[in-house]
Amino acid sequence: MIPSLSSGPRPVIGLDIGTSGVRAIAVSPDGRPLASESTSLPSPQRDADGGVRQDPTLWWRAVGAVLSGLARRLSGAPPAALCLDGTSSTILLCDAGGEPLGAARMYSDASARREADQIGAVAPAESPARGANSSLAKLLRLLDEHAPVAPVLALHQADWIGGRLRGRFGDSDWNNALKLGFDPAAERWPDWLRQLPLGPARLPSVHAPGTDLGPIDADVARAM
């Protein structure tokens, strides 16, 4: 039985986008679990060259399903905040309005070996952006695959879902951006990135984890 939440402090929601499914939990300000929802995701497409891809719209439909279910169970108690996470180094390209150019490259995609060599030639030895599994290597692979001419956004899974929820795209955090090359110590994108063929790709604005990035879009909230 769900406690009555019509008065008192509003709950907060944690949203987890994983490999096999999406889960959400609502907790009270003192940490008591109040309600939870989950749904499964189809398996990603696996290519012979080590590529692992998935349609981002599958994530969004799953997020809508779990948040709608949670909203029904929390009737009368709109959440005070939502925090989300996704699979690290899963990345996609999208236009300024958040429309994906195609499938995302998943965290386990290891097909960007040539791109990893390009990064290895310019990145410091300690950089998490080195290696075929990095989001930077996958970004270079995506740029080669789609060959965009107009500016495009490079966003991680959590970045894109957060953008869909807020109706505004282009933000990330230190944890996601590490494998894209971001330097959290200097709090900026490093100069060596300019030596790579990033072309029209726009890297996200990067914030400290837990930063309030703004409210959920009113239309999105009503649809949930």
pLDDT digits over 4-28, tens only? 344 557 899 999 999 999 999 999 9
3-class secondary structure, 127: coil
pLDDT for 10: 86
pLDDT for 74: 86
Residue 223 — very low, low, confident or very high, per pLDDT cuts 50/70/90? confident
**Which tokens sit at 132?**
């075929």
Would you say the pTM of this structure is higher than 0.85?
Answer: yes
Average pLDDT in the 55-83 region?
A: 91
What percent of the chain has a predicted confidence (pLDDT) above 70? 96
User: Which runs of consecutive H residues, i.e. helices, occur in 23-107?
Assistant: 56-73
Give, in degrees to the nearest 5, the angle at Cα 138 between 17 and 92: 50
Burial class (CB in 10 A: 0-12, 13-18, 19+), 192: middle
